[in-house]
Chains A and B, each alone.
Chain A
Amino acid sequence: MNRRNFLKGATTLSVGASLLPLAQLLPRAAQAASNETAVVVFGGTINSLDIHRSGTNRASYQVAINCYDRLVSFGTKQTADGSFSYDFSNVQPELAESWEISDDGTVMTFKIRKDATFWDGKPVTAHDVKWSLDRAVSLGGFPTVQMKAGRLESPDQFKAIDDQTFQITLPFPSKLALPDLATPIPIIINSEVAKANATPDDPWATEYLHRNPAGSGAFKVMRWNAGEQLVYERNDNWACGPLPGYQRVMLREVPAQSTRRALIERGSVSASQNIPNKDAKELAEKQGVKVVSTPIENCIYSLCTNLDFEPFKDKRVRQAVAWSIPYEKIFEQAAYGQGVPMWGGADQVTSIAWPQKSPYEQNLEKARALMAQTAYKDGFEVPLSFNLSVADWAEPTALLIQQGLAEIGIKASIEKIPGANWRTIALVEKKLPLHLENFGGWLNTPDYYFFWAYIKGNLFNSYNYDNPEMAKLIDDTLDMAISHPDYAPNVTRMIEIAFDDIPRIPLWQPTLNVAFKEGVEGYEYWFHRQMDIRPLKPA
């Protein structure tokens, strides 16, 4: 997007006028310390400003978070180490000021805030909400799948009663419906602007919204140079929350990880998003840098054994693998102690907290004994694969697992698979015999995790695990309210099966690490792992 296009777009601020004086006023050394502007570096690329567009990558989700509002959001809680996190159990109003749920749990009625306006001044109405949610379930691809998780599948379910009242009808009650409305997907778009730029070929204005966001959120996009930077400018009329602390946030793409580290360590930038574990550990000890490491909810780095691979069809072989892994060493050398150990738990499942420790630990005698009972006592060969884009933890992990496996006669050869390939081979075709996987569920309930990872055919069941009892349990539990009497026993049973069958061997729960320059406050962890810049503020 060049400057002219951008001026034509949603924002009315002139780039030249707003940036140029700053350049002359601020000495370079002082720029990052500026109380008005924050500079955030990250390794990805923002490839679209529209989260609904097919092909929009993960890094771009943050535009949906910072520039758009949803009907509801999550509250904030303080974690054990004093940092802040979103609170899954506490759904809060955003564009909706209140809502009611019918007694049978199938009709949700939202009242839209009266004071909320889009950037162009137009009030936000239930019709905008209707158009936006229709768009999310109609465009296909990821947005539609995510909406479906909350049982939101068809435009027929959405109704604008009047300008201020919006109604959703569910086919059956589900505990996931309301939280699903707080994910980055169901954003509310200025439907008038969008419709004005729609064409018969493109009724949902994907081409326009791809470059020109039209929302009501706390920040507008002032400038977007794909592959280089994105500049957010605060929307001073934001109605759905306290005014953000920074006037302007620059998001810079810096591909080399060591360059990013140098930048934050030298104090040239305000924050570095998603830094590797090693940097998190070392930077935490440095002056002038503050590292926030939050365990990622509902996420476990795991070793997966594919049941299509002959030896892994035998449960005892899978268990032997689980007993052979040098967990402790992996946690120390691959995770650098960042995260939560997921091994060495009790034999009995006594809680439904998830993730929780598996009963396995490194015990080579047990592993060898199990192997000796099987047809594979002389061992076998197997490739151990991981995704190249997560090599920073996966490579050391794979090497250490390889040595553990060698102890019980399994000869693993390591295979790095480039990112583009990974999705196809690992998740879609599901043909990697032994691989490292990092799935984490957005909606923080154990049954949601099990749904994606333990039902045959689902995307993150990359190991073709199929167990009718598990499938039935998940099906029964997925929409069940957490307060339901069957909920806890069902989840307990799921965890028991998962640990006994052990197709997915938990290694550790990872952390999301973000480094800040001293004096940047207010950071909050979110399940989507993107930087929510709205609560950030200078000290």
Chain B
Amino acid sequence: MSNLAITPSTAPRAQTREGYWHHLRYIMAENPLTGISFGLFFGLIAVAIFGPYLVPFDPVATGVGPALQPPGVSHWFGTDHLGRDVFSRVVVATRLDLLISVSAVTLSFVFGSIIGCFAGYFGGWTDRISGRLMDTIMAFPLFVLAMGIVAAAGNSIENIVYATAIINLPFYARMARAEVSIRRNAGFVQAARLSGNSELRVLFGHIFPNTLPPMMVQISLNMGWAILNAAGLSFIGLGVQPPMPEWGILVAEGANFIISGEWWLVVFPGMALMLAVFTFNLIGDGLRDLVDPQRRT
């Protein structure tokens, strides 16, 4: 079941740092999409950082233009029903969306890794209890669980982040567990132990770093999911509070305008959303090629 996410790499990774860079260049050259996606990624980061200072209009100010104006020279992406500038809103939303996905993914990465490492390293009851716990979370269709958590805890940005983090937790925990347990008794671990390192130090200083490459793949795929997840929550009314611009809520609100012909309200935020998710998915794919020699051709 977890095969989808976990790509156990049993081959010893003895590559040097230079080897990695060399390989990265190779992957980029071999796979133009990955190259493009890295470009897009840096573009997104730039927009998230500098976007709010560069936009032509205040994204939350109403009436900066006539309401429901189609795209034109003064409003590139048109205006919405309150005369807000869609371009400014889409650009400014980048920061919030990335923030939501980065914090959600960071949370699940940190806690998932800790749980998984302990389970994989110590085994026994730690493993059993955490395993059942993760099974329980995994048993719910993920979006449904997120929906329930946000509905129960109230719709704020923090709760969207927590809900997203919780539903992704098992992926990291399981991956960390698998990666740690196959290395638990590896030669370099024995050596570290014999040279007097404490258990925790062995675990987090020596074993854990080895789990990072496959984790990176998971992280970038999850970034995309996190954004989609927030968008879905917005669609059923559990998203961020207005007037804050966020892609999901822009698409969800804009969706009401498709039939009446104001396509720009949904198409532009939709494209931005898709572009971001697309970027993260491609990077994830590309990283998988990079870190997983088995899948490499």
Using Cβ atoms and an 8 Å threshold, which residues of chain A touch B81?
278, 333, 396
The reply to whether B242 and A279 contact each other, CB–CB distance below 8 Å, is no
User: What is the 8 Å Cβ interface bit string for chain B, positions 129-156, against chain A (1 contact, 0 not)?
Assistant: 0000000000000000000000100010
Using Cβ atoms and an 8 Å threshold, which residues of chain A touch B155?
416, 418
The reply to whether A329 and B255 contact each other, CB–CB distance below 8 Å, is no
Determine whether A473 belongs to the interface, using a CB cutoff of 8 Å to chain B: no
Complex Cα spacing A415 to B155, Å: 9
Stretch at the interface among B11-19, B42-50, B104-112, B256-264: B256-264
Task: Say whether, besides A396-B82, A398-B242, A400-B62, A416 and B260 are in contact (CB < 8 Å).
Answer: no
Determine whether B293 belongs to the interface, using a CB cutoff of 8 Å to chain A: no
The reply to whether A282 and B260 contact each other, CB–CB distance below 8 Å, is yes
The reply to whether A279 and B260 contact each other, CB–CB distance below 8 Å, is yes
Complex Cα spacing A329 to B83, Å: 11
The reply to whether A258 and B256 contact each other, CB–CB distance below 8 Å, is yes
Determine whether A488 belongs to the interface, using a CB cutoff of 8 Å to chain B: no
Complex Cα spacing A258 to B151, Å: 24
The reply to whether A258 and B259 contact each other, CB–CB distance below 8 Å, is yes
The reply to whether A388 and B237 contact each other, CB–CB distance below 8 Å, is yes
Task: Say whether, besides A258-B256, A261-B259, A400-B62, A333 and B241 are in contact (CB < 8 Å).
Answer: no
Interface of A, helix, strand, loop or mixed by DSSP = helix
Complex Cα spacing A413 to B155, Å: 14
Using Cβ atoms and an 8 Å threshold, which residues of chain A touch B258?
258
The answer, among A333, A398, A415, A418, for a CB contact under 8 Å with B83, is A333
The reply to whether B256 and A416 contact each other, CB–CB distance below 8 Å, is no
Task: Say whether, besides A278-B81, A399-B62, A400-B62, A418 and B260 are in contact (CB < 8 Å).
Answer: no
The reply to whether A391 and B259 contact each other, CB–CB distance below 8 Å, is no
Complex Cα spacing A291 to B88, Å: 35
The reply to whether A258 and B237 contact each other, CB–CB distance below 8 Å, is no
Complex Cα spacing A388 to B151, Å: 13
The total of chain A residues at the interface (CB under 8 A) is: 24
B216-252 residues at the A interface, CB under 8 angstroms: 237-238, 241-243
Using Cβ atoms and an 8 Å threshold, which residues of chain B touch A128?
none
Measured CB to CB, the closest approach of chain B to A383, in angstroms, equals 10
The reply to whether B237 and A391 contact each other, CB–CB distance below 8 Å, is yes
The reply to whether A416 and B151 contact each other, CB–CB distance below 8 Å, is no
The reply to whether B237 and A414 contact each other, CB–CB distance below 8 Å, is no
Determine whether B63 belongs to the interface, using a CB cutoff of 8 Å to chain A: yes
Complex Cα spacing A418 to B257, Å: 22
Determine whether A265 belongs to the interface, using a CB cutoff of 8 Å to chain B: yes
The answer, among B67, B237, B256, for a CB contact under 8 Å with A418, is B237
Using Cβ atoms and an 8 Å threshold, which residues of chain A touch B61?
403
User: What is the 8 Å Cβ interface bit string for chain A, positions 360-394, against chain B (1 contact, 0 not)?
Assistant: 00000000000000000000000000001001000
The reply to whether B259 and A415 contact each other, CB–CB distance below 8 Å, is no
The reply to whether A416 and B243 contact each other, CB–CB distance below 8 Å, is no
Complex Cα spacing A261 to B241, Å: 26
The reply to whether B256 and A257 contact each other, CB–CB distance below 8 Å, is yes
Determine whether A262 belongs to the interface, using a CB cutoff of 8 Å to chain B: yes
Measured CB to CB, the closest approach of chain B to A334, in angstroms, equals 9
The reply to whether A399 and B151 contact each other, CB–CB distance below 8 Å, is no
Complex Cα spacing A398 to B60, Å: 13
Determine whether A180 belongs to the interface, using a CB cutoff of 8 Å to chain B: no
Determine whether A395 belongs to the interface, using a CB cutoff of 8 Å to chain B: yes
The reply to whether A395 and B256 contact each other, CB–CB distance below 8 Å, is no
Complex Cα spacing A414 to B255, Å: 22
User: What is the 8 Å Cβ interface bit string for chain A, positions 270-296, against chain B (1 contact, 0 not)?
Assistant: 000000001100100000000000000
User: What is the 8 Å Cβ interface bit string for chain B, positions 41-75, against chain A (1 contact, 0 not)?
Assistant: 00000000000000000000111000100000000
Chain B residue, CB-CB nearest to A332: B67
Task: Say whether, besides A333-B83, A399-B62, A400-B82, A416 and B259 are in contact (CB < 8 Å).
Answer: no
Using Cβ atoms and an 8 Å threshold, which residues of chain B touch A415?
241
User: What is the 8 Å Cβ interface bit string for chain A, positions 313-346, against chain B (1 contact, 0 not)?
Assistant: 0000000000000000100010000000000000
The reply to whether A258 and B243 contact each other, CB–CB distance below 8 Å, is no
The reply to whether A416 and B255 contact each other, CB–CB distance below 8 Å, is no
Q: Which of B61, B151, B242, B258 has the most CB of A within 10 A?
A: B242
Chain A residue, CB-CB nearest to B257: A258
The answer, among A333, A395, A418, for a CB contact under 8 Å with B242, is A395
The answer, among A261, A265, A414, for a CB contact under 8 Å with B243, is A414
Using Cβ atoms and an 8 Å threshold, which residues of chain A touch B237?
388, 391, 416, 418
Using Cβ atoms and an 8 Å threshold, which residues of chain A touch B151?
418
Measured CB to CB, the closest approach of chain A to B284, in angstroms, equals 32
The reply to whether B241 and A403 contact each other, CB–CB distance below 8 Å, is no
Q: Which of A388, A391, A396 has the most CB of B within 10 A?
A: A396
Chain B residue, CB-CB nearest to A416: B241
Complex Cα spacing A278 to B253, Å: 13
Chain B residue, CB-CB nearest to A261: B259
User: What is the 8 Å Cβ interface bit string for chain A, positions 399-430, against chain B (1 contact, 0 not)?
Assistant: 11011000000000111101000000000000
Using Cβ atoms and an 8 Å threshold, which residues of chain B touch A416?
155, 237, 241-242
B residues in contact (CB < 8 Å) with A: 61-63, 67, 81-83, 151, 155, 237-238, 241-243, 255-260
Extra 11 A-B pairs, beta carbons < 8 Å, given A333-B82, A418-B155, A418-B237: A258-B256, A258-B259, A278-B260, A391-B237, A400-B62, A400-B82, A403-B61, A413-B241, A414-B242, A414-B243, A416-B242
A residues in contact (CB < 8 Å) with B: 257-258, 261-262, 265, 278-279, 282, 329, 333, 388, 391, 395-396, 398-400, 402-403, 413-416, 418
Question: What are the nearest 8 A-B pairs in CB distance?
Answer: A258-B259, A261-B259, A262-B259, A258-B256, A388-B237, A399-B243, A414-B242, A396-B82
Listed A/B pairs (18) with beta-carbon separation below 8 Å: A257-B256, A258-B255, A258-B256, A258-B258, A258-B259, A262-B259, A333-B62, A333-B67, A333-B83, A399-B62, A403-B61, A403-B62, A413-B241, A415-B241, A416-B241, A416-B242, A418-B151, A418-B238
